[in-house]
Structure 1
């Protein structure tokens, strides 16, 4: 008789791949006793069983690297703990470049690795050959070698995690299909299941969606959006090759290929540029350890290049041609965390072919988040709250997934834009900007003007690690904002109304700054967590006695609104996203006041409209709100108008602005101007694990306001002890190199951190970066006595460091 399934669990995990098994293992390790894992067929039978099992340390951010390294360490110990052989071995890895641009990318990654504490060695083509004798190095421009990278047996890693979870009290049930997830309000109350002819229900405190390529459908059952789509993923395994011994994992991204030696055979896999989405009509109900039909024509270009790159493949027979599905997300980052729509539904799915190397760390991070009720560290890259509901649209996922699989091995150029599934969210000014040369980028589905092409210039990106084709265009936009007048579209920024009799008390509870201000006052503030970390960076405008407008970055509107909803408690407020309802144009520069006084009936002097206040005024034949704030460090206003009047307001400002030197500007300009002023960028410079005092934003926290607020005790404590880190600004002494982010910071020749963001300072005349430097027990004078430099692609470049903004440190220009 089958083991009975419990009627209640603290956590029910749906899906028995490597991710679900890891979550079960880590929850049990934290002492959770009532953990139940339900698998529709057999453990690993979806995608885990056919994964390639490549296990790398280095990821795109410090925290993702931390998770990948944790996975490695865990897999090395699992065999001893459980007796299940994981096949994990540190054989090293080599990635080679076939172009100068790719070599630049690898060199920058190697520098980044130093900052993250990962050992990476830059190697010449000859050194590549010495470590991988079978490789034809014709055309190879360089490579990197990571000694501690490895490979493992995917299925056995998952089974070892499952056994470890069972040993600590978790229960695992195979052949058990989840049929429904009953809900009440913002909670799933339990899980309906079927096992053969038997069916039942488990009441559940928490439900975790680890359903892999079924994650979108399970998400729908739970009332949540989990945007991912399965794609066909191809590899071949050769017959045994005489004399072939253990080799490093080899990646040749310029040929879309990876190679893995296993038991004297070579596995050749591909991440081709134009992928094949699968199962548009749904995954077959009986899918279990299945493979998809061969498509040799699709794989042939990869194999043809591989035979030239690895000549021994020409003599080796093909033992297996494999085609299996794997799930991909719209941005190539997996989904982890608490689903925005529900308060007890968690997600760990959509691992984009890096599930094995990610599973250990992802399971650990999610378990800690569930146990503590707060993220253990910044997980913004993968937090499912970053997604947008429309991204679950089947047609959108079909189109985008064609591209995202191949992007894993495409050149990871800065500012690279997705080419598929575009044009979905358009601001009211979209066509007017296109007509005037706008080159669009995409963020959270929004089409946004990033820069403006000149007449006759190709209005498109030409990607490079060097100065891009739009460098001078953006420089002219930058100088217009600094010297005359620039106008750019801010409509994509989130706009959330908080209304009700408790609006002031509620916002005082979740904001560090004081919201007890007069109508029309604009307050810069952060939402803090209990550790004093920054969960959101926003401005709040008091519209009336009972209503406020919270303005958020475009990418975090949903996450910020979710934070508000979850901390509403008993406050009588209504929280509403009104982002699409208003167009917003930013007018920035010394001539902005003169233009507004020409086209409105209002006197925009400091007496009538001081910095940090909002006023209503007619403009042309329309009406608008004028918010006197800035993110570029100049005199300026953000002009808010109903979407139906947006076209008219644009024409009014644009036409009158020609007499004042008005130039249309894009988001790249905004980034270069804000970094000169030292303004922080949420998600890069400030995150949930960056203390607000360390970030230099303590001025925006009012601990003496009468209301208690989230994070107050942590702020008081840090003010008493002093900051542990200081956010500093760095200006390169060499005007040529470019900074993006993650470049190592060297203090007196020693790596102490990395840049959280970087851009070119067209007024300051060189690239500028922001980054944290450890300073526990040190004064401001102590930290400034040192010399600083930045490592860029292996080159050490001296930098001028500053704690105050290098541009207009006293903010005189914004208040003129």
Structure 2
């Protein structure tokens, strides 16, 4: 055994491809004193039995950027290290057996073009020409990515390990980390044992690359790492004579993928209902191990495969393989620093795409550790999106039985998880359910997405066209535009910031001026040093020493980390109070009339102007009424203590009968906000998007004094914008927009939509997206161009606007 050092700058736990990649990339950045500890042998957990598919196109630009980086890296590793990686760019083909799947893969092809990925749409005969062994009688279409490929996962990991060693990293096998040690909220190192010996390595950073062991390791330090192992199956045929090299083939409608390798075919499956594994923990001795065969479980996949590729009927089975891999509740892996423990980093939970992900993920995490900020927007895979409850093992077991299969399921817009539901509910959940609510889930919260009519089925019928709730959304949308609607937004994250220095602290973090009188509400962003948006929120001053912050439910953990990590020597307390209050937005031109029916307070502009909050009476209870809106209409958000929520809801509902009150869901709120061009964090604005280019300069007050990001704002004002957020409306009322559709300016792809929905008041699909521009280009010059949007390969004319198309002067909001 190599001698274990007593001190290191970083200890990486786990010698799969993820850990080796992190070590390699930290070493490339010039880090010394890197130690990687593997409890058994390198690659012995999951890496050794991975299928090794290298697909470059992912669901977003930055995930695609990371996958493309992996492919480029693996192509160069052999030359750098002398170890063969087996990487070859044989291309990949995905085929569709239904019109809905064709729409999906053609939308993906359009996205690939926007991301600069080489792609070709294929007819059934063109699919057959590239994959002659395929039965195409029910194939509708295909998509070909010529630069995709396959590789040998174990050899890639070993090559990364060698590259790390060549730059001075120590990689030590047969050493198990038993504990990550900490002091005062920061890691101090690891305890280890090997062959009866025990020891300690002092370290500033620890990286958990423990794969399916990672969750339990993290739990020792109360770090939430929600993942769970599932059984993953494939077979390898006997040698097939005269089998030429073939592209990787995916037939998602049959849950199957095919890889030709050395004259054999590997057939793998992502079956709809998976088999979770390791509920009682994973054996200490597990190393290069297989799980018991379950041919009955795999047989439905194999039957379809033999029909799809008749030559398999003649080929014998050389290997029937079943091995465990880790899956997460949302099919996205985890990167970043643990929210509650400084210096504890994570790269784990790869959902069977670890080989194509690990090269880029290792690079991104190394940059993040080196620079103390991510190299670009990584919110999709950020560990801070994990909710504390998600480490619950029963929850994980139920959820991952679904998420494995979702990798190849139709990725319909608005698709809702079916398993592990109902964990977080508003106090009004049963009231809403009784009124016809159909729920979706975000961050564990059950939220009313739409309301079914009497006699209408209360479930989704998914499609890329208009879904079964489209008319319900229109009715709810128009109720808020023309009458009055009521929503339940209890899932908003709510944070109290209190103390002697609360005002000074928030002034330093917020771009807008929050040193305002008590009762004022300020819309603001918190920026990073590049002027990118870290948090998007409203700040309400409650008193001289107390503020109330409202953030999206999905970003609550992220926003708490940002606040707490920036406390210097201020006297300030930061408290999550999300579950203490229900939030009931009353929205629409008749909202004032309704408020006057349920409360004796004065709701005139003079008594309660836009951007103010105050306590009011409702029925026999009390609420805090915030005059703000996320739908672009006159309205109030009512913050009600959870114990009084049912009474207040019943009071509003009873009085609302006289003014045509309609219960509204999140789908209608989203379509209203997109009509008004309100930004959504995670889609339209991220830590990579400059606040001025996002069109939010009105919420930035550089004159107030110093704040994080102020210098970046001043520099951008001086240099000019290189892109601007633009709103689009399709002139054809039929097609739908969701997000990621390519934007064409004068016939050339320049960008893609960050979000989209149907604008029922505007009479067509509406989207938001950034358009590149010259720093000296005027808005009029930008809008003089012809804009079109690519929807699954069809090009549609679009109107473009820099101002909101709906109520551009916000006269309705302030009415």
So what's the TM-score if we normalise by structure 1?
0.99
- For the residues of structure 2 that align with 1:3 and 1:320, how far apart are their CA atoms? 35
8 Å CA contact 1:234, 1:269 repeated in 2: yes
CA-CA distance at 1:286 after TM superposition: 0.4
3-state DSSP of counterpart to 1:489: coil
> Deviation digits for residues 380-429 of structure 1, max 9, x if unmatched?
11001011010000000000010000000000000000000000000011
Matches within 5 A, 1:120-269: 120-269=119-268
1:87 counterpart residue number: 86
CA-CA distance at 1:538 after TM superposition: 0.3
3-state DSSP of counterpart to 1:233: strand
CA-CA distance at 1:625 after TM superposition: 0.2
1:712 matches 2:710: yes
- For the residues of structure 1 that align with 2:393 and 2:646, how far apart are their CA atoms? 32
- For the residues of structure 2 that align with 1:659 and 1:509, how far apart are their CA atoms? 47
- For the residues of structure 2 that align with 1:3 and 1:554, how far apart are their CA atoms? 47
3-state DSSP of counterpart to 1:235: strand
Query: Which runs of at least 4 in structure 1 moved beyond 3 Å after TM superposition?
Result: none
2:541 counterpart residue number: 542
- For the residues of structure 1 that align with 2:774 and 2:189, how far apart are their CA atoms? 47
2:35 counterpart residue number: 36
8 Å CA contact 1:90, 1:149 repeated in 2: yes
1:776 counterpart residue number: 774
3-state DSSP of counterpart to 1:189: strand
Unaligned runs of 5+ in 1: none
1:728 counterpart residue number: 726
3-state DSSP of counterpart to 1:231: strand
- For the residues of structure 2 that align with 1:466 and 1:519, how far apart are their CA atoms? 48
2:738 counterpart residue number: 740
3-state DSSP of counterpart to 2:279: coil
CA-CA distance at 1:222 after TM superposition: 3.0
CA-CA distance at 1:218 after TM superposition: 1.4
2:525 counterpart residue number: 526
1:625 counterpart residue number: 624
Mean Cα deviation higher: 775-784 or 757-766: 775-784
2:320 counterpart residue number: 321
Unaligned runs of 5+ in 2: none
1:513 counterpart residue number: 512
- For the residues of structure 2 that align with 1:723 and 1:655, how far apart are their CA atoms? 51
1:764 counterpart residue number: 762
CA-CA distance at 1:738 after TM superposition: 0.3
Q: How many pairs are equivalent? A: 814
Mean Cα deviation higher: 83-92 or 181-190: 181-190
8 Å CA contact 1:439, 1:460 repeated in 2: yes
- For the residues of structure 2 that align with 1:129 and 1:533, how far apart are their CA atoms? 47
1:449 matches 2:456: no
1:419 counterpart residue number: 418
CA-CA distance at 1:220 after TM superposition: 1.2
1:610 counterpart residue number: 609
- For the residues of structure 1 that align with 2:10 and 2:803, how far apart are their CA atoms? 48
- For the residues of structure 2 that align with 1:718 and 1:660, how far apart are their CA atoms? 48
1:802 counterpart residue number: 801
1:436 matches 2:435: yes
> Deviation digits for residues 245-299 of structure 1, max 9, x if unmatched?
1100000000000000000000000000000000100001100000000000000
Q: CA RMSD in A?
A: 0.6
> Deviation digits for residues 646-705 of structure 1, max 9, x if unmatched?
000000001101111100000000000000001001100000000000000011011111
- For the residues of structure 2 that align with 1:230 and 1:600, how far apart are their CA atoms? 54
CA-CA distance at 1:724 after TM superposition: 1.3
Matches within 5 A, 1:305-454: 305-454=304-453
Matches within 5 A, 1:478-517: 478-517=477-516
CA-CA distance at 1:186 after TM superposition: 1.4
- For the residues of structure 2 that align with 1:570 and 1:797, how far apart are their CA atoms? 55
> Deviation digits for residues 31-50 of structure 1, max 9, x if unmatched?
00111100000000000000
CA-CA distance at 1:618 after TM superposition: 1.1
> Deviation digits for residues 790-809 of structure 1, max 9, x if unmatched?
00000110100000000000
- For the residues of structure 2 that align with 1:182 and 1:170, how far apart are their CA atoms? 22
CA-CA distance at 1:223 after TM superposition: 2.6
- For the residues of structure 2 that align with 1:663 and 1:67, how far apart are their CA atoms? 45
> Deviation digits for residues 584-629 of structure 1, max 9, x if unmatched?
1000001111111111121011111100000101110001000000
- For the residues of structure 2 that align with 1:598 and 1:457, how far apart are their CA atoms? 31
- For the residues of structure 2 that align with 1:543 and 1:503, how far apart are their CA atoms? 11
- For the residues of structure 1 that align with 2:589 and 2:783, how far apart are their CA atoms? 33
Matches within 5 A, 1:548-697: 548-697=547-696
- For the residues of structure 2 that align with 1:590 and 1:336, how far apart are their CA atoms? 45
- For the residues of structure 1 that align with 2:2 and 2:689, how far apart are their CA atoms? 47
- For the residues of structure 1 that align with 2:41 and 2:613, how far apart are their CA atoms? 60
8 Å CA contact 1:222, 1:345 repeated in 2: no
> Deviation digits for residues 505-529 of structure 1, max 9, x if unmatched?
1101111011110001000000100
3-state DSSP of counterpart to 2:758: strand
- For the residues of structure 2 that align with 1:442 and 1:536, how far apart are their CA atoms? 21
> Deviation digits for residues 490-544 of structure 1, max 9, x if unmatched?
1001000001111001101111011110001000000100000001100000011
- For the residues of structure 2 that align with 1:452 and 1:3, how far apart are their CA atoms? 64
- For the residues of structure 2 that align with 1:783 and 1:590, how far apart are their CA atoms? 34
Mean Cα deviation higher: 760-769 or 593-602: 593-602
3-state DSSP of counterpart to 1:181: strand
- For the residues of structure 2 that align with 1:201 and 1:748, how far apart are their CA atoms? 63
3-state DSSP of counterpart to 1:704: helix
- For the residues of structure 1 that align with 2:73 and 2:806, how far apart are their CA atoms? 47
1:469 counterpart residue number: 468
- For the residues of structure 1 that align with 2:598 and 2:766, how far apart are their CA atoms? 36
- For the residues of structure 1 that align with 2:137 and 2:47, how far apart are their CA atoms? 35
> Deviation digits for residues 93-145 of structure 1, max 9, x if unmatched?
00001111000000100111111111111001110000000001121110100
3-state DSSP of counterpart to 1:33: coil
2:747 counterpart residue number: 749
3-state DSSP of counterpart to 1:179: strand
CA-CA distance at 1:721 after TM superposition: 1.3
8 Å CA contact 1:188, 1:222 repeated in 2: no
CA-CA distance at 1:342 after TM superposition: 1.0
CA-CA distance at 1:9 after TM superposition: 1.0
- For the residues of structure 2 that align with 1:482 and 1:257, how far apart are their CA atoms? 46
- For the residues of structure 2 that align with 1:737 and 1:192, how far apart are their CA atoms? 59
